[in-house]
């Protein structure tokens, strides 16, 4: 079985305790943070295990590579403190079962785009940006063969990820890809951060979707016309697992002439969409989620954003309607990039 290596000594000598002191959902001072993270590491109960919003951000805040959120998710499971009600966990567990039937394996021997569990978003994969790129997981009936399973971190079910992920990696590897471009950055986080933390072998090169888009835009540079829009970016929780790739958001905006508005909740300080909080077991979760969403959208409005750019389909589903209701147009990053090369995405005015 794959085990997380968590170094308690690093926490003992850590000067910041940033994993918890920077948390946007838990008020905690440095000394308490040190005590609580050490309690969690020893397998003891802590209020952090009950109050965690599962926003993944502490994975980024810990710059020592100690994986505090993976630890939290592990202990929520072993101590029986699930973040969401058990019937919801059971339903989610049944939804994501991979390996029902067999996927058709076509050997690609080149780069592939993996849609993961988002095959319904295939209509986004159009135009010059994706020309010549093979795509896997395009079939809704078979998409769970390619679903990275990291979603179960929100449910406190690490054991399920460890059980299923190696087989999914094996399925992808059978396509013989030279590179796997991950449509969702949760998949990218799974094949890089999570697999590294648990010692799971990944026999292909994962590529972040934004890195792919940026490099493709560079190839199409002559076609780019500045979009001239004021944009806010909705950073997804899963992007906290690959903070080194977050830089591509700014690079893409600069390249396509999108003006990133000055916000409080941006980059390291970003607020998640709060979709995971809505369904949590903790008392007052719906109110907690609604307050975060309001703060987030008010911040976009105050900064003068005209459009809100999304990466994660789940964030789009949670916040898209709300931002639109506040006069800010929601758009997927790839559609914004298509606009810049004079293509008109569906639904764009």
Residue 81 engages ligand SF4 in binding (rule: CB under 6 A): no
Q: What single string gives the DSSP state of each residue in 289-325?
A: HHHHHHHHHHHHHHTT-SEEEES-HHHHHHHHHHHHH
Shortest spacing between CB 17 and ligand SF4, in angstroms: 5
Q: How far is CA 216 from CA 237, 255, 341, in A?
A: 25, 11, 11
Shortest spacing between CB 318 and ligand SF4, in angstroms: 16
Count of alpha carbons within 13 angstroms of residue 229, beta-carbon side: 21
Shortest spacing between CB 56 and ligand SF4, in angstroms: 5
> Closer CB to ligand SF4, residue 142 or residue 235?
235
Q: Where are the beta strands (DSSP E) in the chain?
A: 111-114, 134-136, 179-182, 205-208, 230-234, 259-260, 307-310, 329-332
* Binds ligand SF4 (CB under 6 A): choice among 40, 46, 69, 209: 69
Give exposure, 178-201, as e/b (b: 16+ Cβ within 10 Å). eebbbbbbbbbbbbbbbbebbebe
> Closer CB to ligand SF4, residue 23 or residue 217?
23
As to burial, measured by CB atoms within 10 angstroms (0-12 exposed, 13-18 middle, 19+ buried), residue 152 is buried
Residue 326 engages ligand SF4 in binding (rule: CB under 6 A): no
Stretch of residues binding ligand SF4 (CB under 6 A), selected from 59-67, 261-269, 330-338, 340-348: 59-67
CB 69 within 8 A of CB 58: yes
> Closer CB to ligand SF4, residue 58 or residue 165?
58
> Of 260, 248, 239, 268, which is closest to residue 308 (Cα–Cα)?
260
Residue 73 engages ligand SF4 in binding (rule: CB under 6 A): no
Distance between CA atoms of residues 172 and 146, nearest Å: 7
> Closer CB to ligand SF4, residue 62 or residue 270?
62
Stretch of residues binding ligand SF4 (CB under 6 A), selected from 23-31, 262-270, 306-314, 321-329: 23-31
CB 113 within 8 A of CB 126: no
Q: How many residues bind ligand SF4 (CB under 6 A)?
A: 25
Residue 89 engages ligand SF4 in binding (rule: CB under 6 A): no
Residue 169 engages ligand SF4 in binding (rule: CB under 6 A): no
Stretch of residues binding ligand SF4 (CB under 6 A), selected from 64-72, 76-84, 103-111, 326-334: 64-72
Query: Of residues 27-46, which lie at the interface with ligand SF4 (CB under 6 A)?
Result: 37
Shortest spacing between CB 118 and ligand SF4, in angstroms: 23
* Binds ligand SF4 (CB under 6 A): choice among 40, 46, 68, 77: 68
* Binds ligand SF4 (CB under 6 A): choice among 58, 148, 300, 340: 58
C-beta neighbour count of 254 within 10 angstroms? 12
Shortest spacing between CB 71 and ligand SF4, in angstroms: 8
Which positions touch ligand SF4 (CB under 6 A)?
10-11, 14, 16-19, 23, 25-26, 37, 48, 52-58, 62, 64, 66, 68-69, 72
């Amino acid at each position: 079985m794959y085990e997380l290596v968590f170094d308690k000594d690093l926490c003992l000598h850590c000067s910041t305790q940033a994993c918890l002191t920077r948390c946007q959902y838990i008020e905690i001072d440095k000394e308490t943070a040190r005590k609580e993270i050490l309690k969690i590491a020893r397998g003891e109960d802590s209020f952090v295990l009950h109050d965690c919003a599962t926003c993944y951000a502490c994975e980024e805040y810990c710059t020592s590579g100690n994986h505090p959120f993976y630890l939290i998710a592990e202990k929520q499971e072993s101590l029986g403190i699930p973040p969401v009600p058990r019937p919801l966990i059971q339903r989610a567990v049944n939804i994501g079962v991979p390996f029902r039937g067999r996927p058709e394996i076509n050997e690609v021997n080149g780069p592939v785009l993996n849609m993961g569990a988002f095959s319904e978003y295939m209509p986004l994969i159009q135009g010059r940006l994706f020309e010549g790129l093979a795509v896997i997981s395009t079939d809704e009936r078979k998409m769970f063969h390619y679903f990275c399973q990291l979603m179960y971190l929100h449910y406190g079910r690490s054991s399920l990820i460890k059980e299923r992920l190696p087989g999914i990696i094996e399925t992808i590897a059978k396509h013989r890809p030279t590179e796997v471009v991950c449509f969702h950055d949760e998949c990218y986080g799974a094949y890089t951060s999570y697999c590294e933390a648990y010692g799971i072998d990944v026999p292909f090169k994962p590529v972040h979707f934004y890195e792919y888009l940026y490099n493709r835009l560079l190839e199409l540079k002559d076609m780019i016309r500045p979009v001239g829009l004021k944009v806010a970016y909705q950073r997804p929780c899963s992007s906290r697992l690959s903070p080194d790739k977050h830089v591509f958001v700014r690079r893409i905006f600069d390249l396509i002439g999108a003006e990133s508005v000055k916000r409080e909740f941006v980059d390291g300080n970003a607020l998640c969409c709060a979709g995971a909080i809505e369904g949590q077991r903790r008392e007052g979760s719906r109110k907690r989620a609604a307050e975060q969403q309001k703060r987030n959208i008010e911040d976009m409005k105050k900064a003068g954003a005209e459009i809100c750019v999304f990466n994660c389909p789940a964030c789009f589903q949670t916040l898209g309607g709300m931002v639109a209701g506040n006069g800010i147009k929601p758009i997927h990053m790839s559609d914004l990039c298509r606009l810049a090369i004079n293509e008109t995405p569906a639904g764009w005015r």
